Structure 1
Amino acid sequence: MSAHSRLSLNQGTIKYASLAEALEVSQRQGLQSIGLWREPVAEVGLERAAQMLRDSGLRFSSHCRAGFLTEPGETARRQALEENRRAIEETRVLAEAGAPGSSATLVMVAGGIPEGGTIEDARARFEEGIATLAPEAEAAGVTLALEPLHPMYASDRAVLSTLGQALDIADRVGSPAVGAVVDAFHVWWDPDVAAQVERAGRDGRIASYQVCDWKTPLPADVLLSRHLPGDGVVDFAHLTALVNEAGYQGDVEVEVFNADLWAKSYDDAVAEMVTKFGASVGVHLAEFAIA
C-alpha cells in the first residue's frame, strides 16, 4: 500500500460538510480513509451513519472527539462519563462499518481548568476518568487516544500538553486500550518529542498520527490557527521519520481548522490537502500496509 493511500481526511478540515458530503468528496478525490466527527454522525443517527460509511467503502481512521473530564462534582463527572461511553459505542460501531483496516480510535481531549480550580487537579480528574473508562473501552475493542494539545490551550481546552504527559497517564492506567495521538501541530515544538515518539512506538501506544502546520502570526481565534502541511514551519520530514521508525502503520489524518480553507468548496479544499500532503508528508511516509 502506497504512502498516499494512507492519507485520511479528518472531517474537521471541511467543518461545514455534512456526513454525506464528507464521504462523497472523499470518494471523488480518490481517498481511501476518513476520520469522522461526532456531531455530523449525530445529525443522521448512528445506525444510518454506519450504513453510509459502509456504503462508501472508506476506512474509518478515528472518531472525534470525547474526553472533557476535568469538571469537578459528582454530577458533572457522571454526565461526562456517560457521554464518553456513548462515544465509545459510536466508535465501535463505525469501526465495524468501515472498510478493512479501519481503526476503532476515539480521540480524547482532556478539557480545561474549571473556574477556581488548578491545572494539577484538572489533570488528576482527567486521569481518573480515563482509568474508569479504559476497561469499558478495552471490552469494546476501542482505543482511547489521548491527545496532548499545544500549551496555549491548557487553560480552556486541554490540560494535557505534551506527549510525555499522555504516555505517563497511559502507563499509570496500565490498559492496552489507552494510546496517544501524535499531532504535528501540538507536538512539533517539544524538545523531547523524539524520545517520546520512540517511547510511544516501543509501548505500542501510537493510536493516530495527525498532520497540519504551524504558522505565525496566529489569528485572534487561536483555535483556527492550523494550516495545511507545507504552509508553515513544522519539519514533517523529521517528525514523519520518527513516526515511521516507531512502527506506526495506520492512516495519517490531515486535520486543519482554518477559516480560509473552510470558505473554499469542499472539492477545492480536499484537492489542495491531497497535493500538499503528498509534497510535505507523503513523500516521507513509509509504505506500510494498513494493519
Structure 2
Amino acid sequence: MQPLALSQITTSPLTLEQDLQLCLRLGCALEIAEKKLSDDTGRAREQLEQIKESGVRITSIQPRTLTIFPSASAPQPSNPQLRLEQLMMSVERFSPFWPGLPLITNTGADSSGNEARVWDGCVEHYQTLAVHAERQGMHIALEALGPSLMNRNSVLFTFSQAQAMASAVNHPHFGLCLDLYNSWQDAGLLTSISAHKLFIVQLADWRRPRSLHDRRALGDGEIPFKALLGALAASGYAGDCVLEIFSESVDDSLWQDAPTLIQAVEQSIAAFSEWSVHGQ
C-alpha cells in the first residue's frame, strides 16, 4: 500500500502553496478538491499547472459537484441532468493534467425519501458519466456515506450497497471509493471488502461526533484500522489511502490553525504507517 496521502478537504484552511509544501516535506501525495480552486477559469488552470509542476503525485479528484441528485450540503442545482453535466465538465477539466485518475461521487438524495427514484436515476446517469470518463481517459469512484447522511446526501449507507450500484452501472471506468469513517460500523464490511474496482480509500478516525464535521486524526478515535487495513491488504488492494478530515463547529477543531492541523496530519501519517506494517 502507498504511504498515506492528503485530501485538500483535510487541508481546507491552508493555501494551495502550503498544501504543496506540506506534501513535499512529508513525501506524500495529494487528493485535489475542485472547490479549492479559483472560481476564475483562467486562474484555476494556472493553479492546476502549479500543482502539476510541483512534482506532488495526485491520487484522486473531489469534484465541485459531488452528487447526481441534490444533497443537503449542495442542494443546487436541483436538476440531476444539470448536475451530471457539471460532473462531466469536471472530468474534462482534470483529464489533460492527470489522465486515469478517479473522480469521487455520491448519489445525493430525494427530499421525499424516494430512494428508488434516486437509485434508478443514478444508475442511468452514472452510465452516461462512465462512458464520458472513459472517452476522457478518467475513472469515476462511487462512495457510500454513513447512516446519519441517509436521505440527506446519499441513499447508500454500506459499502456493499455501493458495490451493488457499481455492478448495476456495469462499466470498467466506474468503480468504488471506500471511506472507512463512513463504513467502519457496517457489520458486513470485513466480508464485503474487495479490491475489485476499488479505486481509492479514504480515512479519518471516529469518535461520537458533536457536529457533522467532527472527524479526528488517526489514532484519536475508535476505528479498528489495523484490522481494516489488514483486510484491504489481504484483498489485494495496493492503491492509495487518503486522509480526509472535516473539523469545524467543535471546540477542539483541527482546523483552528495551521500548526494544529499539521500536527494532526503528522500524527495520522505515523499511525497509518505503523498499522500498515503490522496489518500486512
- TM class by smaller structure: 0.7 to 0.9
1:182 aligns with: 178
User: In 2, distance between residues paired with 1:197 and 1:61?
Assistant: 20
1:55 to 53, 58, 68: 53
Code of the residue aligned with 1:208 in structure 2: it is I
* Number of residues of Structure 1 aligned to a counterpart in Structure 2: 265
Rounded to whole Å, the distance in 1 between the matches of 2:147 and 2:119 is: 13
Q: In the alignment, what sits opposite 2:200?
A: 208
Choose 138-147 or 18-27, whichever is displaced more: 18-27
Q: Which residue of 2 aligns with 1:137?
A: 133
Q: Which moved more, 1:183-192 or 1:82-91?
A: 82-91
1:254 to 230, 243, 262: 243
Give the residue type in structure 2 aligned to 1:25.
L
Across the aligned residues of Structure 1 and Structure 2, the Cα RMSD in angstroms comes to 2.2
Change (3 A) 1:93 1:49: farther
What's the CA shift for 1:10? 0.5
Cα drift, residue 30 of structure 1: 1.9
Matches within 5 A, 1:117-136: 117-136=113-132
Q: Which residue of 2 aligns with 1:273?
A: 265
Alignment of 1:196-235 (within 5 A): 196-198=192-194, 201=195, 204-216=196-208, 218-219=209-210, 221-222=211-212, 224-235=213-224
Please give the per-residue CA displacement for 1:191-233, whole angstroms capped at 9, x wherever unaligned: 11122213xx1xx3111111111101x21x32x1211111111
Aligned residue runs from structure 1 range 33-44, under 5 A: 33-43=29-39
Q: What is the SS of the residue equivalent to 1:226?
A: coil
1:18 corresponds, among 12, 15, 18, to 15
TM-score (norm 1): 0.84
1:234-249 correspondence to structure 2 within 5 Å: 234-249=223-238
Find the counterpart in structure 2 of residue 82 from structure 1.
85
1:91 aligns to 2:94 (yes or no): yes
Give 5+ residue unaligned stretches, structure 2.
Answer: 71-76
CA contact (8 A) 1:91 1:106 kept: no
Higher helix proportion (structure 1 or 2):
1
Given that 1:208 and 1:250 are in contact with CA atoms closer than 8 Å, whether structure 2 keeps it comes out as yes
Alpha-carbon distance between aligned partners in 2 of 1:33 and 1:20, rounded to the nearest angstrom:
14
Mapped to 2, the partners of 1:273 and 1:62 lie a distance apart of: 18
Query: Percent identity over the alignment?
Result: 22
Structure 2: distance between partners of 1:112 and 1:79: 15
| 1:68 aligned onto 2:60 | no
State the one-letter code of the partner of 2:256: A
Whole-Å Cα distance in 2 between the matches of residues 210 and 92 of structure 1? Answer: 22
Per-residue deviation, 1:34? 0.4
The two structures have a TM-score, normalised by structure 2, of: 0.87
Superposed displacement of residue 54, structure 1: 1.7
**Contact 1:46 / 1:90 at 8 angstroms: preserved in 2?**
no
Q: Given that residues 218 and 267 in structure 2 are in contact (C-alpha distance below 8 angstroms), is that contact kept between their aligned partners in structure 1?
A: no
Detail structure 1 runs of 4+ shifted over 3 Å in the superposition: 42-46
Contact 1:123 1:160 in 2 (8 A): no
User: Structure 1, residues 271-291: CA drift from partner, whole Å, max 9, x if none?
Assistant: 431223322x2223269xxxx
